Chains A and B, each alone.
Chain A
């Protein structure tokens, strides 16, 4: 069910929403969090869809604020949808013009679920300072997506500068399956010194940098990032150990080949995950991700990282490879 309210106010929206929920026999008591999506004009559809899918695992109230022209006349329009496509969530899309184009606590607080965690998500851009943002300040969790920026190094430096416990980034979340497999491989190997870590993927992918930094920091090794001509996301990571090489290589989108000093090559399911899957993982725990904070603020400056844009790379031609920001 979809309801539109033109030129309205937050309390009118709240009233309408309560009435709609009551009429449909839905109550909001089992919603576990409020997700506030801070979107730009014309780009919100994918983010909303992902949030709705993620709400199957974490039933939530989704508030999407779309910033329209700031110099237009002050005006707030809203769309409410519950049931059907909205999945296990209720979605409120706010279109703000003029003063309402700025998402602030004052603007939306009537719509937040009482006493439930708030998650703020910037799907398109990295805000100047997430934790100082009016919504970011009241949120337990602030999700950015550094992969949307042009220069990963710069944006990561920016994130590091403003990092506050509770910040997290989708470029880091996308790495989880890789990190799980790398840790599992090392569980099976004898301890050995790692001479060098190398990670290959797009020069635009912050995931490549984050993975390199994490590995370099934890393993105490220098990191080599190979980014030449790679118009695809993270596709290979290798640890050069004294006893041989551990390598995960994924030319396509789902199966990675594992090479290790012991035993023959093996294949593991390591699919590229959708935005919804990454978001669902992110919403599973709302306490600060300290390891991300450590990688961002300590590992990146400390680890010696060489970016090699000229290495001769031969990548298997496959039909279906990953997007630049994928991991």
Chain B
């Protein structure tokens, strides 16, 4: 038996300079010619190698239809590393890394190809010393999951019972398009891989700022006493993009903003913002708290007043003429797919009772931004009433991207003889206090997969709970054939979104 970290005499919990290096392993990429692989995944793997966090016996295998040799693939990897890696390109590091790169040519339904993949893995176990530890990264459309997983099972690559080492599978969103399909997908995955070998990637959770939500909430004393319905009026979680759907009509049509973004990213942000303190960073503890709060989410009784959906129109946005949703390539004229969605949900716990959480996501909005705004109740303003009516509503804004950081908004006296009050901002910029060396989210996540550390990966139960929150809205839209309302590009969504908050005597923040 190899030393476990506990038995290794060189390991010492006090010795915090000793970071963990992944053990010997092979990472197999399905869908290696995709944009994500080229721009993010392959560069992230190289960056890990360059930082010395992957072992010398690490191997990378691409699986795809292209008629490539190992060397062709190496060339591809090299190009994407040179173009997109965060750390500098070093020839000697590359040479060491590239010896472990292989390409297996074949279609997802081709038995010979999977037999070759198996042989390649066996060869790498032998020559490179990957010791039977294999991770399969499925960067492919969910349609192809079943096929690939089935083939992995058929060719005995998914089971590790009779062979040394571990097997893990990494899947990307979307995890289904509703509760039923998510369950179906999950049963396919878990038929082949055991529950704790499945890593669902939500790259948002790999971001430093998202992990900082936990630090901000639980490493500090001053925020937590305010973090409840006694003081908080409501919470707004926004993820906005200023671009349109571009050429992604094939994926986007029929999915829409709610499924694409709210179901996964925004509900994860909601969970981290609203959950109770986990007793440790252990995956089980963290996930249990997230699940508790997701399970406590309730929808307003009158669903009709708890959403707004929209589709962007064409127009002149920020200095360029942009297409409307219906002018994008391959969007049918009767599409009811929303490019903007805003939802209102409640959390039925003692902490959050009566505090609505407003979630909004959309394309072609005012700017690219993701943030969580916790808006506090108004102060009674006996002293400073009158003209200062619109001030005094404090806010804590956690900016997830860009300009990662946090803003604290509070009222201050305007210089002069009169008691005039104005809101001012106090700002913490992540980039100012801890500059540039923040690793890419994918680096962190890939390393965690290889180390087998699951806290940052949502469990299937969380996926199910998220669908349970979203499905009633989707069903309502479907049943009533709700037509999304048009909105101007570069605006903050359709009029109905603003009306939705006005009904509650509130207003959206302008991020």
Contact = CB atoms under 8 A, between A and B. Distances in A.
Given A179-B17, A188-B24, A291 B12 contact: yes
A315 to B, nearest CB: 18
B64 to A, nearest CB: 27
Contacts of A32: 433-434
Given A188-B24, A291-B15, A268 B3 contact: no
Nearest to B127: A264
Contacts of A274: none
Contacts of B96: 255, 267-269
A154 interface: no
Given A30-B429, A186-B10, A188-B2, A56 B18 contact: no
A271 B88 CA distance: 13
Contacts of B19: 180
A259 to B, nearest CB: 11
Given A268-B52, A269-B52, A88 B432 contact: yes
Contact of B10 (A59, A173, A179): A179
B12 A186 contact: no
A105 B146 CA distance: 69
A311 to B, nearest CB: 25
Contact of A190 (B3, B10, B12): B3
Interface in A191-237: 191, 215, 218-220
Interface in B462-500: none
Contacts of A56: 435-437
For the side of the interface on A, what is the size category? 35 or more
B443 to A, nearest CB: 15
Main secondary structure of the interface of A (DSSP, over half): mixed
B164 to A, nearest CB: 12
Contact of A281 (B14, B17, B56, B432): B17
Given A57-B437, A268-B52, A290-B14, A263 B129 contact: yes
Nearest to B22: A184
A270 B21 CA distance: 13
Contact of B57 (A31, A180, A266, A285): A266
Nearest to A262: B129
B9 A88 contact: no
B43 to A, nearest CB: 16
A190 B2 CA distance: 4
Contacts of A58: 434
A266 B3 contact: no
Interface string A38-59: 0000000000000000011111
Interface of A: 30-32, 55-59, 88, 173, 176-177, 179-184, 186-191, 215, 218-220, 254-255, 258, 262-264, 266-271, 280-281, 285, 289-291
Given A176-B17, A188-B55, 9 more contacts: A59-B433, A187-B5, A187-B8, A188-B2, A254-B93, A255-B92, A258-B56, A266-B56, A269-B52
